[in-house]
Amino acid sequence: MPNIITKIERAAAEDVAALAKFGTATIHEAQGRLGALNSSIKPIDRNMRLCGPAFTVESAPRDNLMLQLAIHYAQKGDVIVVSAGEYEEAGSFGDVLGNACVAKGIAGVVTDTGVRDTLALIELGLPVFSLSVCIKGTVKETLCQINGDIVVGGQMIRPGDVISGDADGLVMVRKEDAAEVAVKSQTRDDVEADLIEAYKAGGTVIDLCNLAPVLAAKGLTTDL
């Protein structure tokens, strides 16, 4: 199998755009509480958001050779997702590569290792989600694979699956499920919007969430 696969099937652009409207928690809940990456991978700035098809990269720890190649081959709108062994003590991505990503229109970077130059990356506006922030440099030595199935944050991610990220974390949606999950996310969003309005109108948690029979079955008593 070649080290670099460039021809991948991506989620449809309209499905990616539909999913991009929703928060990651909504998407996670809407698809049956599936797809959440480990909470240890966070945006370097809480205002960062990304959503796009995964361009997957396998990388050796403390080595960013394959990441650099991925930036070369990725397409506009892709999210580069790097599996690097959950190694925190390396800064495998910084402002120089960040500028290369922005110049190509890459939608963001997700990695299970460290990044650096975070102030410059924040100013640049490229969404970056990482396991750590670390100043330690990397080498360019090890050939791995681009666009194979990888595991990042406890989730198996395939090339072209949708990755969505915001201040709450990251969620993955299978590319073949993207349209359905977008519809389910909208339904959940509508239900929650109605619930918020009901609370504002004076509704109670017990009534609106139908907790009375649940509490009665558990034998809850109060002094009211």
pLDDT in tens, 135-188: 999 999 999 999 999 999 999 999 999 999 999 999 999 999 999 999 999 999
223, pLDDT greater than 90: no
Residue 224 has a pLDDT of: 73
The model's pTM is 0.95
Q: Is residue 208 in a domain? A: no
Q: What is the CATH number of the domain that holds 40?
A: 3.50.30.40
> Does residue 221 lie within any of the structural domains?
no
Alpha carbon distance 31, 173 (integer Å): 8
- Whether the pLDDT of residue 2 is over 90: the answer is no
Q: What percent of the chain is predicted at pLDDT more than 90? A: 98
Number of domains in the chain: 1
Establish if 201 belongs to a structural domain.
no
Instruction: Tell which residue, 154, 172, 170, has the closest CA to residue 162.
Output: 172
CB 196 within 8 A of CB 39: no
Q: What is the pLDDT of residue 1?
A: 62
Structure tokens at 163: 């990755």
Q: What is the largest CA-CA distance in the chain?
A: 70
Q: What is the mean pLDDT of residues 45-74?
A: 98
| Residue 172 belongs to a domain | yes
**Does 31 reside within a domain?**
yes
Domain extent at residue 58: 13-183
Q: Are strands 108-115 and 128-133 parallel, antiparallel or unpaired?
A: parallel
pLDDT at 51 over 70: yes
User: What DSSP string describes 49-73?
Assistant: -EEEEEEEEE--TTB-HHHHHHHHH
Mean pLDDT of the 97-123 span: 98
